[in-house]
Amino acid sequence: MCWWFRFRGTVIGNIWWQVLGVMIYSGVVVGLHEFAEWTWLEFPMSLIAIIGVVVGLLLGFRTNNAYDRYWEGRKLWSTMTAQVRTLTRSIWIGVKGSDSRDLVEKKSAINLAVAFVTATKHYLREEYDYESDDLVYLIGHLPRLFTPSSNMPLDEQVDYSAENIPEEVSKSKIPIENGKDSHGLKTAFIQRQKSNRINKMIAYDHPVPTNIPIELSHYLLSYIAYVQDNKMAESFIIGAMSSSLSSMVDCLTSFERILRTPIPLAYSVHLNHSVWLYMLSLPYQLVGTLHWWTILIVGLGSFCLLGILSIGWEIENPFGYDSNDLPLDDFCRVIRREVAVITSHPPPDPKTWLHSKKNRPFGSRCDINAIDLAEKPLSEVCEMFQTYSAEDHFHIKINEK
């Protein structure tokens, strides 16, 4: 089916009843004008231009602002992905490892990098469960710190002490150790996660926010310090790992800024009032010239205006489960697969691929492999480099023409 006929992924399901209500309202206005002859219902057409300009400016600003947040979220996720790749590469190849213990340590640290991305996804969706299916196998061995979240004001966050355990947890069969749930308050959170998929909930609806990504950054930094103390990597590798981790935390902080900085309430309310004022006044301006066609025209106009308004609301927070939100689940799966492929092979030894019979430094135009080439005198090798480099330059210029 062509894209202009599709229903899934659109905002039609959110606005159809509003459009229908406006059309019914227009039908009442047209009926009173036509049958009751209430000619005083006709307003001058100039009102369309006056109110329409204001509504257009407000909607344009609203849509641009919402899309900027959407696009910034995508750019930040790309940056975080790149830093996870750099961190993984630095650990797996740059950190020295000579026995099984070293490999296990490196794999465990890389798992925390993957867990950081997965935990960030849940954190942005305001899901604070340590026991998520795609997270628990990566961090199940770590202590739970219940770090305060930046997704809601601190004075509204519940302190999980022994005397302040919520009723839904205290009545469950989950063991409590030192005032904290040793299994991550699984029962208490499952219901919230399911409801969050249905309702567009904000951070204020959750009593137990926990910043798991920040906790994971502490463990990753402790590993970097461990590598440095034991001289298991060169200084530039240590610097690259530290820089990648800092950039990942910067991305997390920027995600929090997007999540905690919605469009100001006064602006959103005024925009809604202006759009509805324009739509409800539109029938009075068209009924004198269009008569019964007014219902259709007003319906089409309402569909366009309400659609733009609804799109702005939907993409303002691009981290949820809406059809137009960023596919964070797919992004996380890609990272997990990349890391799994990288760690499934030992760190490459340059000698195994530099000095190989299949390695032909001059490409298909010379059959000499790297091993035979390395055995030739230096002067002959330099002359071959000059010859083939000149030919490469010639072929490049011919192709450009």
Q: What is the pLDDT of residues 231-241, one digit of tens each?
A: 999 999 999 99
| Res. 150: pLDDT tops 80 | no
- Rounded to the nearest integer, the mean pLDDT of the chain is 79
Q: Indicate if 293 and 205 belong to the same structural domain.
A: no
Whether the CB-CB separation of 295 and 24 falls below 8 Å is answered with no
Q: Indicate if 173 and 288 belong to the same structural domain.
A: no
Q: Is 119 helix (H, G, I), strand (E, B) or coil?
A: helix
pTM of the predicted structure, to 2 decimals:
0.76
Instruction: Please indicate whether residue 398 or residue 86 has the higher confidence score (pLDDT).
Output: 86
| Res. 395: pLDDT tops 60 | no
Q: Indicate if 337 and 391 belong to the same structural domain.
A: no
- Pairing, β 180-181 against β 176-177: antiparallel
| Res. 85: pLDDT tops 90 | yes
Q: Indicate if 223 and 76 belong to the same structural domain.
A: yes
Q: What is the distance between the alpha carbons of residues 378 and 365, in angstroms, rounded to a whole number?
A: 20
Q: Indicate if 196 and 172 belong to the same structural domain.
A: yes
Tell the burial category of 366 from Cβ atoms under 10 Å away from its Cβ (0-12, 13-18, 19+).
middle
Q: What is the distance between the alpha carbons of residues 273 and 56, in angstroms, rounded to a whole number?
A: 13
| Res. 116: pLDDT tops 80 | yes
43-47, 61-65, 209-213: segment of lowest average pLDDT: 43-47
17 part of a folded domain = yes
51 part of a folded domain = no
Instruction: Please indicate whether residue 178 or residue 304 has the higher confidence score (pLDDT).
Output: 304
For position 164, what pLDDT does the model report? 45
Q: Indicate if 26 and 67 belong to the same structural domain.
A: no
Q: Please state the separation of Cα 17 from the chain's center in Å.
A: 30
For position 250, what pLDDT does the model report? 97
Task: State both tokens at 221.
Answer: 């930094």
Instruction: Please indicate whether residue 179 or residue 21 has the higher confidence score (pLDDT).
Output: 21
Digit-coded pLDDT (tens) for 182-222: 444 444 443 444 444 333 333 333 345 788 999 999 999 99
Q: Indicate if 159 and 117 belong to the same structural domain.
A: yes
For position 157, what pLDDT does the model report? 60
| Res. 40: pLDDT tops 80 | no
80 part of a folded domain = yes
Q: Indicate if 121 and 67 belong to the same structural domain.
A: yes
| Res. 355: pLDDT tops 60 | yes
Print burial letters for 288-316: b (CB count within 10 Å at least 16), e (below 16): eeeeeebbeebbebbbebbbbbbbbbbbb
Most confident of 192-206, 238-252, 288-302, 322-336: 238-252
Instruction: Please indicate whether residue 10 or residue 140 has the higher confidence score (pLDDT).
Output: 140
Instruction: Please indicate whether residue 190 or residue 80 has the higher confidence score (pLDDT).
Output: 80
Domain holding 28, by residue range, is 3-41+278-316
Q: Indicate if 126 and 234 belong to the same structural domain.
A: yes
- Give the pLDDT mean for 142-167: 60
Tell the burial category of 89 from Cβ atoms under 10 Å away from its Cβ (0-12, 13-18, 19+).
middle
Nearest to residue 130, comparing CAs of 208, 199, 224? 208
44-53, 58-67, 313-322: segment of lowest average pLDDT: 44-53
Q: Indicate if 290 and 249 belong to the same structural domain.
A: no
In the beta sheet, which residues pair with residue 180?
A: 177
| Res. 50: pLDDT tops 90 | no
Q: Indicate if 254 and 287 belong to the same structural domain.
A: no
Instruction: Please indicate whether residue 188 or residue 66 has the higher confidence score (pLDDT).
Output: 66
Q: Indicate if 106 and 246 belong to the same structural domain.
A: yes
| Res. 175: pLDDT tops 80 | no
| Res. 247: pLDDT tops 70 | yes
Instruction: Please indicate whether residue 397 or residue 36 has the higher confidence score (pLDDT).
Output: 36
47 part of a folded domain = no
4-13, 185-194, 388-397: segment of lowest average pLDDT: 185-194
80-94, 163-177, 274-288, 340-354: segment of lowest average pLDDT: 163-177
| Res. 32: pLDDT tops 70 | yes
Query: Confidence class of residue 358 from pLDDT cuts 50, 70 and 90?
Result: confident
123 part of a folded domain = yes
Overall number of domains in the chain:
3
| Res. 180: pLDDT tops 80 | no
Residues 6+ apart with CB under 8 A from 167: none
50 part of a folded domain = no
